[in-house]
Amino acid sequence: MASPSSTLPRRLAEHLATSLPGHAAHRSMAPEVPIRRADLSVHGRDCREAGVLVLLLPQNEHLAVVLTVRRDHLPDHAGQISFPGGQREPDESLATTARREAEEEVALPPSHVDLLGRLTPLYIPPSNFCAHPFVGRVASAPTLQPADREVQQVLRVPLSHLLAPATRKTGTRRLNGTDVAVPYYDVDGHAVWGATAMMLAEFLAIVRTADGAPPQYPSQ
């Protein structure tokens, strides 16, 4: 019998080529403040474009997702949990950006990444980024490590953990001078929230659909 690490990527690629959950999934992990659908759209934005890589890799016959812990001194999203990614360079495609940033941040050679498709772009107001996430996979588990000054730690999070309902929690954060309820994923004591959690929510919804299950993201 084929392992999930060999069969799921193919099914994901098929579903990524069809309609996506989009902003409905994004809003399920957004802070509980009024958010309109248009607020999340990248269309018509005067923003900085970023390529982001949602990377799947094999881990003990199963699959894991790569996340990074950003250092505390950074001007954007300091100390937060992120996917590898960053700002697009001139004359560079967003897919190339996602793979280049993964190499610069976690020492993953771009040639090792097989892109399966792209998720819904997301506008991030605090940093004025328009994030364009791509889903990729590697055939074998590479050696990953922090490769630049932005990354403090590389996390390999089992996909099964992210899919478990108990991983999604809600806490309180002070945003713009107001205490608000913020949903997050609890990953080894790290709170994955904000734009990363929103992109992750759409990815997990697609994984569930590829496995023949309902998306299971709460509505807001």
User: For the chain, which residues make up each domain, given as ranges?
Assistant: 4-210
User: Does pTM surpass 0.85?
Assistant: yes
Degrees, nearest 5: CA angle 159-143-16 = 40
Residue 129: CB partners within 8 Å, gap ≥ 6? 47, 48, 49, 50, 76, 87, 123, 195
Q: Which CATH number fits domain 4-210: 1.20.1050.10, 3.90.79.10, 3.20.20.370, 3.40.309.10?
A: 3.90.79.10
pLDDT tier for residue 177 given thresholds of 50, 70 and 90: confident
Does the structure show a pLDDT above 80 at 142? yes
Percent of the chain's residues with pLDDT above 90 = 71
pLDDT at 2: 47
CA 40 to each of CA 9, 123, 165: distance values in angstroms, whole numbers, following the listed order: 27, 5, 25
In this structure, what token pair is assigned to residue 120?
């819904």
Whether 117 shows a pLDDT value over 80: the answer reads yes
Mean pLDDT of 7-19: 93
**How do strand 129-137 and strand 48-59 relate by DSSP bridges?**
parallel
pLDDT of amino acid 73: 58
